[in-house]
Structure 1
Amino acid sequence: MSVTVLAPATVANMVCGFDVLGFALAEPADTMHLRLTDTPGVTIINEDDFDLPTEPTRNVAGGALLALLREAPGVGIEVRINKAIRPGSGIGSSAASAAGAVVGANALLNNRFSKEDLVRFAMFGEEVASGVQHADNIAPCLYGGVTLIRSTAPLDIVPLPTPPLWVTVVHPQIEVKTADARAILKRQVPLPTAIRQWGNVGGLVAGLCLQDYNLIGRALEDFIVEPVRSILIPGFAEVKAASREAGALGGGISGSGPSIFMLSQEEATARAVAAAMQAVYDRLSIAQFTYVTRMNTEGVRVVRSTEQVEIPLF
């Protein structure tokens, strides 16, 4: 009665789609081991060096599992977490913890909950991390590929076509807290700006559906969030310009940052983009991690499990 899952990193917003678009990455991914226990409730054990809280109400995975257990009372779950996705990186570390936890728990409970249920539970984990229940990392982490969150109340997740694309991500070693990045956003947007943004969101969705790479590149513009958040990321404008010059279709801030992502059609281009990104941060004397990867079309994956058990709902 145990299970091991891999929970992938994700990129939220996809530049113009703040809180409504996101996609999953093939790597990195967190590893989580879950088992049923005799004591109802949630037990969290960290197997990495990030020293995250183990009190369930203060832990992202714990918050998600507590939400699930409200609809499966009397169940006890222990989760061991080994994070490969650095907290605060901007590539969905909290979403991976929340989504991986509920997928693992659901596998132990004979998959009694739907994917939409799991998104709903995992959003409570995101609330622990940022104070807001949002699904633009959670949905792609659970569904894989590119997802559109048409609505969160009621929840309406739309998986989108995922054309062959390479992703380059640079994570400069600075900290941008999600709550802080949300706090600086403007609360009002001029109508002409909103219209331009809606055009890009529609264009990006259409480009994905049509596998029109030129349209995807043209639509990767953000007139609302990026101009504000980019001031928190040293070298952002230089990285974006150098990446375009290296052949990237386009890209921008991953989630709330500080990571920056770029999309490319070919692996060779994606690696040239990585070199361009690294060169910028080398000039700025800022340490960084760089990933060159594909999109993950599976989402959270169960890689090993023992006997499942049917536990009745009370």
Structure 2
Amino acid sequence: MLLALTVLEIVAPVFMLGLAGWTWVKRGAEFRVDFVTRICFTISVPALLFTALARAELDPAFFASLAGAAFAAYMLAALALWVAIRLGKLSVRVWLAPLVFGNTGNVGLPVAMFAFGDEGLALAAVIFAVMACLSFTVGVWLVSGGGSPAEAAKQPIFYGAALGLLFALMDWELPSFLMRGLDLAGQMAIPLMLLTLGVSVARLSVKGAGRAIAMSVLRVILCGAAAWGAARIFGLSDIGRDALILQLTMPVAVTSYLLAERYKAEPSEVAGLVVVSTLVSVAAIPLTLAAILEGWLP
């Protein structure tokens, strides 16, 4: 009972705000996703990443291990999911990037913060930064066939994370009035992203539900195993391992649908995958948290 209450305290705020966004749209109210998303990824998320990382006490060796483990975990997950997609006779161009690069921003950051506090948020931010760089390069290349490494350097979240890490590692500090301003900007990020997630799920339709359910469950298992394996290889601490597993098992991101729409990579299939994996996460995230909190992981 105590474990259930602890898990509920962590996930309830996340799902409540997502449900609020879903209800908002279902009641016919206007919500301009493009505008809110631009605000998030141009202003609030970079500010959140910077403040979370700049305040973190990051040991350079630990940071290198965590970043390396995150990169290795995504590569292992990509390999395992590529095999699964080929065995299922599905399109690699359509399915691989959405399955590999999950919703570490909208859902992963708040879950890590509620589960592990400020330290967990800082660790999740490092993993999110690695994922964002891979998603805007390898991910775009997979979906479109023509991504460029320079694409990641165009994203404000890249600079927010990079500067935050630099300030943490060099033990620099900004004037208090600047940090307070960035704090205010960053505080917008999590509620806006969760509301947007609910809105997006409400507006998307499901196609191929059975296939989407199977692949959503399989991605949780394979990505979780990849994260656990990479954590063991790089010798991460328990909290580093837990943050990595939690981030990699997040549901499919709404941005995967936007990329599929942009590059005509069967967006209806990806839309169904986003909706179904988000619904699967209602059970998957609490189960993952229970395994972490109870020390069931070897």
What TM-score, normalized to structure 2?
0.25
Q: Which has the higher helix share?
A: 2
| Higher relative contact order (CA closer than 8 Å, sequence separation 6+) | 2
Q: Compare CA radii of gyration and give the structure with the larger one.
A: 1
Q: Which has the higher strand share?
A: 1
What TM-score, normalized to structure 1?
0.24
